[in-house]
Amino acid sequence: MKDRLFTLPNTISMCRLAFIPVLWWLALQGEAAWVGIGIMAALLSDIIDGQLARRLNQVTKLGSQLDSLADNLLVPSTIVWLLMLRPEVLAGYNQIATLATTIIYVVFLAIGYIRFSRFANLHLYSGKASGVIGTLFMLDAFIFGFHPMMFYLAIGVFTLANCEGLLLVLTRSEVNEHMGSILRKQPSMQ
């Protein structure tokens, strides 16, 4: 399908992008519960836009890039919002775990950009799991308070997802953004 900007899935992704400054404003106002609800809304829109794109046969490179841009702006924002609104989450050893995970994430993005002249818009199953578990952690942290087990589960799955992505961008000469997993064979070049 030719890349058109104004498809329903792309519009949902653009709304998610436009919603990020609203979440920043809410965070600056100290509205932790609303930030948590907003992050959950962002996850739901992330799920919906992909499903709609596939069902409406509107899967495009532009849509994939919009989706990934929104995700790659939202993830670091949530870390800053945690620092602002729930600093106890990132205290002690949790800082080390968060820093290590952040480094892996940034290295994955940087190497993908260096190798492919763009950010690798990988839509891996592990990334989807990470998004769901991470969102549930954020919702829990912002609304109900800090539960260490949720933190370690979210950071563990996020780290595994980014390690998988890093392995893909390091070992493949070309990446299919919708391959799902490193366990899938690389498509043969015809």
Encoding tokens for residue 103?
Answer: 């480094």
| C-alpha span between 167 and 184 (Å, rounded) | 13
Encoding tokens for residue 51?
Answer: 């499903």
Residue that is written with structure tokens 């990020």 in the block: 20
The C-alpha torsion from 52 through 57 and 60 to 66, rounded to 10°, is -10
Helices 8-28 + 61-85 axis angle, to 10? 10
53-67 per-position pLDDT tens digit: 889 888 888 888 888
Go through the domains of the chain in sequence order and give each one's CATH number.
8-171 (1.20.120.1760)
100-145 per-position pLDDT tens digit: 998 998 899 899 889 887 776 677 899 889 988 988 999 899 999 8
17-29 per-position pLDDT tens digit: 999 999 999 999 9
Encoding tokens for residue 8?
Answer: 């329903």
